[in-house]
Amino acid sequence: MAACATAAYGRLLKYLLKDTLRSDYPSRIKPGYRYWRKAHYCSVPIKDHYDRLVQSGSLRRDRQQRLVLQQLAQLQASLMDYSNSIYLSHASAQHSQHDHVQTVPPREEEPTRLPPPPKGFYIYGDVGTGKTMLMDLFFSHVPNPHKKRVHFNGFMLDIHKRIHRWKQSLPKRGLGRMFTYDPIAPVAMEIGAETCLLCFDEFQVTDIADAMILKQLFQTLFRTGVVVVATSNRAPDDLYKNGLQRETFQPFIDVLKEHCHTICLDTGIDYRTLDMDTAGKLYYLTRERGSGAFLDMLFDELALQQNSAIVPRELRIQGRDVTLRKTCGSLADCTFEELCGRPLGAGDYLELARVFDTVFIRNVPILTLDMKDEAKRFTTLIDNLYDLKVRVVVQAAAPLHRLFLQTGGTERDRQLIDDLGLSGEAADRLTLFTAEEETFAFQRTVSRLMEMQTEKYWTEGDRRHGKKHANP
Residue 433: inside a domain: yes
Residue 46: inside a domain: no
pLDDT digits (tens, 9 = 90+) for 386-431: 988 999 999 999 998 889 887 655 455 555 445 545 455 544 444 4
Three-state DSSP state, 412: helix
Q: How many structural domains does the chain have?
A: 2
Q: Where are the alpha helices (DSSP H) in 388-435?
A: 410-420, 424-429
Q: Looking at the structure, do residues 305 and 401 belong to the same domain, yes or no?
A: yes
Instruction: Say which residues have a Cβ less than 8 Å from residue 397's Cβ, sequence separation at least 6.
Output: 285, 286, 287, 363, 364, 365, 366, 403
The structure's pTM equals 0.66
Nearest CA to 432 among 288, 272, 242, 294? 242
Nearest CA to 65 among 8, 166, 137? 137
Q: Looking at the structure, do residues 290 and 197 belong to the same domain, yes or no?
A: no
Question: What would the mean pLDDT of 283-299 be, rounded to a whole number?
Answer: 91
pLDDT digits (tens, 9 = 90+) for 191-226: 999 999 999 998 988 778 888 899 999 999 999 999
Q: Looking at the structure, do residues 130 and 201 belong to the same domain, yes or no?
A: yes
Of 233, 264, 295, which residue is a domain's last?
A: 264
Q: What is the pLDDT of residue 464?
A: 52
Nearest CA to 397 among 361, 371, 366? 366
Q: Looking at the structure, do residues 318 and 185 belong to the same domain, yes or no?
A: no
User: What does pLDDT average to over the chain?
Assistant: 79
Q: Looking at the structure, do residues 390 and 455 belong to the same domain, yes or no?
A: yes
Instruction: Say which residues have a Cβ less than 8 Å from residue 455's Cβ, sequence separation at least 6.
Output: 15, 276, 277, 278, 279
Question: Residue 152 CB: number of other CB atoms within 10 A?
Answer: 19
pLDDT digits (tens, 9 = 90+) for 94-127: 766 555 444 444 444 545 678 899 999 999 998 8
Residue 348: inside a domain: yes
For residue 249, the domain's CATH number is: 3.40.50.300
First and final CA of the chain: distance in angstroms?
A: 44
Of 264, 294, 315, which residue is a domain's last?
A: 264
Residue 108: inside a domain: no
Output the furthest CA–CA distance in the chain (Å, rounded).
83
Classify strands 197-201 and 147-151 as parallel, antiparallel or unpaired.
Answer: parallel
Of 205, 234, 264, which residue is a domain's last?
A: 264
pLDDT at residue 31 tops 80: no
CA 407, CA 156: separation in Å to the nearest integer? 31
As separate numbers, helices (DSSP H) first and strands (DSSP E) second, the chain gives 17, 12
262: alpha, beta or left, given left = phi > 0 and alpha = psi -120 to 50?
A: beta
Residue 54: inside a domain: no
Residue 50: inside a domain: no
CA 352, CA 385: separation in Å to the nearest integer? 8
CA 430, CA 243: separation in Å to the nearest integer? 6
Residue 273: inside a domain: no
Q: Looking at the structure, do residues 204 and 324 belong to the same domain, yes or no?
A: no
Q: Looking at the structure, do residues 217 and 327 belong to the same domain, yes or no?
A: no
Residue 245: inside a domain: yes
159: alpha, beta or left, given left = phi > 0 and alpha = psi -120 to 50?
A: alpha
Q: Looking at the structure, do residues 140 and 81 belong to the same domain, yes or no?
A: yes
Q: Looking at the structure, do residues 293 and 243 belong to the same domain, yes or no?
A: no
Residue 249 belongs to domain spanning: 61-98+116-172+179-264
Q: Looking at the structure, do residues 342 and 222 belong to the same domain, yes or no?
A: no
Contact 329, 21 (CB under 8 A): yes
Q: Looking at the structure, do residues 255 and 297 belong to the same domain, yes or no?
A: no
Lowest mean pLDDT segment, chosen from 208-212, 289-293, 379-383: 208-212
Q: Looking at the structure, do residues 239 and 303 belong to the same domain, yes or no?
A: no
CA 427, CA 418: separation in Å to the nearest integer? 10
CA 321, CA 323: separation in Å to the nearest integer? 6
pLDDT at residue 181 tops 80: no
443: alpha, beta or left, given left = phi > 0 and alpha = psi -120 to 50?
A: alpha
